[in-house]
Structure 1
Amino acid sequence: MFLSISCLPHLKVPAVVSALSRPSFIPLYSLALKSLSQQRLYSSKIDNAALQIEKIRNIGISAHIDSGKTTLTERILYYTGRIEQMHEVRGKDGVGAVMDSMELERQRGITIQSAATYTMWKDININIIDTPGHVDFTVEVERALRVLDGAVLVLCSVGGVQSQTLTVNRQMKRYNVPVLAFINKLDRQGADPIRVFRQIRSKLGHNAAFMQIPIGLEGDCEGVVDVLTGKALYFEGTNGEKVREGEVPEHLQELLQQRRHELIEAVSNADEEIGEMFLEEKTPTVEQLMAGIRRSVLQRALTPVFLGTALKNKGVQPLLDAVVQYLPHPGEVINYALRKTSDGKEEKVAMDGERSSRHPFVGLAFKLEAGKFGQLTYMRVYQGHVSKGDSLYNARTGKKIRVNRLAQMHSNNMEEIKEAFAGDIVALFGVECASGDTFLSNNKSNISLETMFIPDPVIAMSIKPKNNKDMDNFAKACNRFTREDPTYRITWDEDCKETIASGMGELHLEVYGQRMEREYNCPVVMGKPKVAFRETLTEPFEYDYLHKKQTGGAGQYARVVGIIETLEGEKNTKLEFTNETIGTGVPNQFVPGVERGFKTYCEKGMLTGHRVSGIKFRLIDGASHCVDSSEFAFFQATMGAMRQACEEGKWKILEPIMKVEVTGPSESQGAILAHLNRRKAIIKGTDSSEGWFTIEAEVPLNEMFGYSTALRSVTQGKGEYSMEFSRYAPAPTETLQQLMEQHEAEQAAATGVTVNKKKTSKR
């Protein structure tokens, strides 16, 4: 017993004793007594190299907001012995969930930052990242899925497939992540797992199959029936820690046979071996079917669907078994790095996931965080191994760094380790880097890992500290938060003389404003939100601009000729430049100046001051002077050509259109529709079930400010909505007029301030 307790330093002795006394934990901890060399039971004392790659799972838990991700993670940690007590997400008991370590998360009841931990289940080490559900913090999901090998998609049995579920599904598809689905909240009134299952198939396009049948719903939820084994599972004990097998209730026998046939059919459509048995009308054994499910899941050809209610402690242990059984270990996922060839192209290089030091180290820094231990860099090891005291190279900057401390994270708690191997997720200290940087043991290998997708901000607000004496703290907070979150950006507007904070939504900016006050004692004042409008041409414009300047000595001479074309569809947010010159009209050494002038001008348009996008600058011809031409002269000529296009061409404004999903009680449907229509919404579809309805619509972001207050007002606080960026579309003429008038007023005000300052200085 002494040996078992001493290898669990993160738990108090009474917690271990109580854990050992629970029946479901006896096999796990007796195994720890027998074979310490094969376990990594939460301690750096266990040899990390002894852990086989087959005994590792790297998973993420993702879902729409308020689907129960953090509650599910809390149960997983409890049942695996990682924590001794479970707590509520909103922190009503004064503690809050382990993975919501930030005070703001516990107050709001939402996850703001992704949190990492690791635990053991049946001799398997599971690294878990709990991600936010709100679209404003979608970058946390992006970087988590970039480094994970598998994921659990959590769905609410009442809400079903919601807007952020679709976003998370696209992210999983982008990174080719195998997935299990878990339909949660079977205890809620109106729970309908069959409807959610149909939505998984129709809306998400998954080849889904039920792995379980619920034994009762809502208040009558007692447990689940395992379709594979044909056993009923009941979750007993104070916290559902004891799983009892029983006979399947009589009224579910026929449904069990039907679900098993549907499961075999779904697997046969995804797996060749089971497909042949299906055609030959052979019935696969449980072992054969499990092997077929695993092969199909690894190929993303099948999504097994599990059921339960995390809040009521039912269905979590079978889900853990499924994670171990069906999701891949790091050695089964082929990860690639990019290597530049001698001709400037990039080729893919497969990483070797073997847990040894035979191969050069390759790791990806996917998240930065300033915690109570200082600057943390979360890193996924893809190849080779790293030890405390090793030197690594940043592939982007070429700088050498030393690994002074190496740790594994349990939420906001650190547990130091001596070394890490391929498949591990670790944290480094005091490393200067950016999110997405690749680290190598050899700076001559010339390879880098593909970074994660970073969406562009869609909303901006002015921000400044309440008191000028807090400027130092304000600068520190801005520097830290922009490094940690690539979607949160701070810029200085020269015309308005304001600091502008850009992000993914009102909540995103509001949360960082509150964090500045809480963590840096720097209260801030935030101005009216500014939408990221775009300026673009409505029709092609032919330009011919000559820049000529002579002031004595060497002058400036450059002429550019070409066409500025419009880009339609998904390209209306991009800029393109092509050099189509023939001959020596524009020498090659001056072409970069033309491209730089084009992109510099597009940073701020003349009409409204917003960025220019959706155009293609074609350089067709030009002229140069043997003495007076330079790259700067062609830069100025291109700027002049763009001004000419702005003054003489026909322009329009593009505004961001958001995909909005509103859920509320049926009696408020008419009022909500009226509100959306007043906000120029285009209704895409409606759905109703059990006294609740869901409206899907597309609404201009400019019309969505303050909508949360209006929605709460018409639904007595029962309604909720989610919003994510959809596309850019032409704005109405009145919006263009308002923006032009506002821009002129801001310029006049800025000029007035400048003039006053000059007058004051003269006096």
Structure 2
Amino acid sequence: MNSIDPQVQREVLRRRTFAIISHPDAGKTTLTEKMLLFGGCIDVAGAVRGRKTQRSATSDWMELEKQRGISVSSTVLTFEFEGKRVNLLDTPGHHDFSEDTYRTLMAADCAVMVIDLAKGVEAQTEKLFRVCAMRRIPVLTFVNKVDRPGQEPLQILAEIESKLGIEPVPQNWPLGFGPDFRGLVDLATERVHLFGEQTRDRRGETQTIDLAELSDQDENALQASILSQAREEVELLATAGTTLDRERFLAGEISPVFFGSALTNWGVEHFLRGFLELCPPPRARQSDRGAIEPSRAEFAGFVFKIQANLDPRHRDRVAFVRICAGRFEREMEVMHSRTEKKLRLRRAHRVFGQERETMDEAFPGDIIGLVNPGEFRLGDTICTGEPINFEPLPQFSPEFFAILRCRETLRRKQFSRGLEQLLEEGAIQMFTDSRAARSEPILAAVGELQFDVVRFRLESEYNTQTDIQWLPFKMARWIEGDVEDARRLTLPYSSRVVKDQDGSPAVLFQSLWDTEYAQRENPGVRFEEARGLKQESPSVLTDGSSAD
């Protein structure tokens, strides 16, 4: 089980698998597009504003994403850059899709946090950073939109440290910012990259010169002051700033910071090179049999995402598997650890946005898409050799609850199939009240917008229109034991005892006061905000105080 495969070891060292996180509109999808541009995967970077006259972003393949100009589903994008295989996981920035982002972070070895220079560290960025901290995922920071009016760069560094509790370590520094932005200083070499006119889809040319040799003799007073301020700040950072320590970065104690503008490509290529140098290759993963090293000979991976109708023409479901150890080969036979069944993996794809191509082999850090006729669930482990199970994916407390009804009786079969597949994806959660003879399933989601996505997809992909009835519940709490045990608890009259889609007992509450009342009246019972997390893990996706 501990044998090492030299070929796997070589391939592991050139893999970089990371997720991009941010608050909406910080520029995450734009940065993703520009990294693909430099990786040679696309010729023209797609606009992300959703205008009908512009191309949609490569990562935003769903029709609703194109209409609204937002990411609502995580997307896998792979490209080669200077000898490295880069697996980029583009995640939704909107709070309503945080659960999908969390599951995607489980598949990442590193995260890139995008911050808007003007807006600083925003609420959703902070929450997603807490997820990374909880998972001990190292985080790099890209401060975007330096060519627009915003905060002083030193203020941004102070805000990162005060709000996130991590020490920022700048790797480059803007020469001016906002309308006065002229270029970026590489702090390691003190070389200045001066940017000329560039377009959205081209790299453009830069002039590179030593900071000490840069002259302001022929410049006006404003530009002379920009150069003077940059020199002072670079000197300050050299004497008082923290130096980059790779071990501290991998431990999540510091975050390397890069400045730039994704829209105009300023600093993106420098960031990509710096990122590939700092981002760790795949590392050991914890399982029920201890740490699983990526270079071991036996194959192992886990399902972190399921997507129905990735290609509406095929009406199929794709299970996204993060390879954690060993070598994947098409047609190989694996053990499905949950069911203890053996499966032959005949249809495996490399997925790029909505596009796909057959994969013959893959290595740790890679993401493969398996056509899923129903065998897989989120969190499933597949492996060869001795069966193992990687850490389970968590389920978080929803904040919105409703009952969906199919408008047309003749479409109920399609409606039921659509809901079943969306439940498999984890797009929504489902609770049932076993006391009621004809209880309708209660659907729930972390964010209200998730219901818009579900209804849109039921209509566009399954041709079933729905009506929605909102319910007054605001949170779910999981408890140990069975449903009958839960019914014997002292609970507020307005609460409801239910079981989730896996049969685990839970209580739906209408307010935080109700949950506190239930805890006081039942001191020996734990009411958990999430299922599948370790006891010491904080709440990161709800609006609880530990997330803020």
TM-score (norm 2): 0.81
Residue among 643, 650, 655 paired with 2:511: 655
Describe the SS at the equivalent of 1:448.
Answer: coil
CA contact (8 A) 2:175 2:230 kept: no
Please list every run of 5 or more consecutive structure 2 residues that lacks an aligned counterpart in the other structure. Answer: 1-6, 217-225, 500-507, 514-539
- In 2, the alpha carbon distance for the partners of 1:243 and 1:252 equals 17
- Aligned residues with identical type, % of pairs: 27
CA distance in 2, matches of 1:382, 1:368: 18
Query: Any conservation in 2 of the 1:362–1:439 contact (CA below 8 Å)?
Result: yes
The aligned residue for residue 544 of structure 2 is 727
Q: Which of residues 384, 389, 412 in structure 2 aligns to 1:441? A: 384
* Letter aligned with residue 211 of structure 1: Q
| Aligned partners of 1:208 and 1:303 also within 8 Å | yes
Preserved CA contact (<8 Å) 1:462 1:498: yes
1:607 pairs with one of 455, 468, 493: 493
- 1:103 maps to amino acid: E
Indicate if the aligned counterparts of 1:376 and 1:429 stay in contact, CA closer than 8 A.
Answer: yes
Measured at CA, do residues 177 and 263 of structure 1 come closer, stay the same or move farther in structure 2, by a change above 3 Å? farther
Aligned pair in 2 of structure 1 residues 653, 174: CA closer, same or farther (>3 Å)?
Answer: closer
- Give 3-state SS (helix, strand or coil) of 1:408's partner: strand
Name which structure has the greater RCO, CA cutoff 8 Å, separation 6+: 2
- Mapped to 1, the partners of 2:346 and 2:125 lie a distance apart of 40
Partner Cα separation in structure 2 for residue 83 and residue 73 of structure 1: 11
Output the amino acid matched with 1:313.
N
The equivalent of 1:90 in structure 2 is 49
1:182 alignment counterpart: 142
Residue in structure 2 matched with residue 390 of structure 1 by the alignment: 332
Give the C-alpha shift of residue 499 in structure 1.
4.1
Q: Which of 347, 350, 355 is equivalent to 1:408?
A: 350
Q: For 1:407 and 1:486, how far apart are their aligned partners in 2?
A: 22
> Residue by residue, what CA displacement relative to the aligned partner does 1:618-645 show, whole Å, maximum 9, x if unpaired?
xxxxxxxxxxxxxxxxxxxxxxxxxxxx
Residue type of the alignment partner of 2:420: N
How far apart, CA to CA, are the structure 2 residues paired with 1:367 and 1:318? 31
Contact 1:454 1:486 in 2 (8 A): no
Alignment partner, residue 352 of structure 1: 293
Once the two structures are superposed, the pairs formed by residues 547-696 of structure 1 within 5 Å of their partners are 573=477, 575=479, 597-599=484-486, 607-611=493-497, 655-656=511-512
Question: In 2, are the aligned partners of 1:458 and 1:656 still within 8 Å (CA)?
Answer: no
| 8 Å contact kept, 1:119–1:125 | yes
SS of equivalent to 2:164: coil
Cα distance in structure 1, aligned partners of 2:133 and 2:350: 28
Residue 74 (structure 1) aligned with residue 33 (structure 2): yes
* Contact 2:401/2:471 (<8 A) preserved: yes
Match of 1:532? 474
CA contact (8 A) 2:292 2:325 kept: yes
Aligned to 1:215: 175
Deviation at 1:263, TM superposition (A): 5.4
Residue in 1 that maps onto 2:503: none
Aligned CA distance change for structure 1 residues 510 and 430 (closer, same or farther; 3 Å) = closer
1:609 Cα deviation from its structure 2 partner = 4.5
Rounded to whole Å, the distance in 1 between the matches of 2:91 and 2:135 is: 16
CA 1:500–1:220 in structure 2 vs 1: closer, same or farther (change >3 Å)? same
Q: What secondary structure sits across from 2:42 in the alignment?
A: coil
Aligned partner of 1:378: which letter? F
Q: Partner of 1:116 in structure 2? A: 76
Query: Deviation at 1:108?
Result: 0.9
Q: 1:501 aligns with which of 428, 440, 443?
A: 443
Deviation at 1:574, TM superposition (A): 5.3
Task: Please report how far the alpha carbon of residue 446 of structure 1 lies from its aligned counterpart in structure 2 after TM superposition.
Answer: 4.0
Higher helix share: 1
Corresponding residue of 1:452: 393
Q: How far did residue 399 of structure 1 move?
A: 1.6
Measured in 1, the distance between the counterparts of 2:112 and 2:142 equals 7
Deviations 1:148-187 (A, max 9, x none): 1111100111111111111111110121111110111223
Deviations 1:486-507 (A, max 9, x none): 6433647837854432111211
Task: Measure, in 2, the Cα distance between the counterparts of 1:576 and 1:485.
Answer: 22
Aligned to 2:203: 240
Partner of residue 367, structure 1: 305
What are the ranges of 5 or more consecutive residues in structure 1 without an aligned counterpart?
1-47, 269-291, 340-348, 535-572, 578-594, 614-651, 658-722, 730-763
What per-residue deviation string (whole Å, max 9, x for no partner) do you get for residues 403-452 of structure 1?
0022211111112121122222211123511010111113xx24211023
3-state secondary structure, aligned to 1:91: coil
Deviation (angstroms), 1:147: 1.4
Q: 1:80 to 1:528 in 2, by over 3 A?
A: same
Give the structure 1 partner of residue 64 of structure 2: 104
* Deviation of the 1:596 alpha carbon: 5.8
Q: Deviations over 1:644-684 (max 9, x none)?
A: xxxxxxxx976149xxxxxxxxxxxxxxxxxxxxxxxxxxx
2:246 alignment partner, one of 281, 287, 294: 294
Q: Is the 8 A contact 1:75 1:316 kept in 2?
A: yes
Aligned 1:121-520 pairs, distance under 5 A:
121-236=81-196, 237-238=198-199, 239-248=202-211, 249=214, 251-252=226-227, 255-256=230-231, 258-259=233-234, 262=237, 266-267=241-242, 292-330=244-282, 333-339=283-289, 349-354=290-295, 359-370=297-308, 371-372=310-311, 374-430=316-372, 432-442=375-385, 445-485=386-426, 487-489=428-430, 491=432, 494=436, 497-520=439-462
CA contact (8 A) 1:118 1:127 kept: yes
TM superposition score normalised by structure 1: 0.59
- Secondary structure (helix, strand or coil) at the match of 1:147 reads coil
Judged with a 3 Å threshold, the aligned counterparts in structure 2 of structure 1 residues 265 and 300 are, in CA distance, closer, same or farther, namely farther
CA distance in 1, matches of 2:286, 2:470: 44
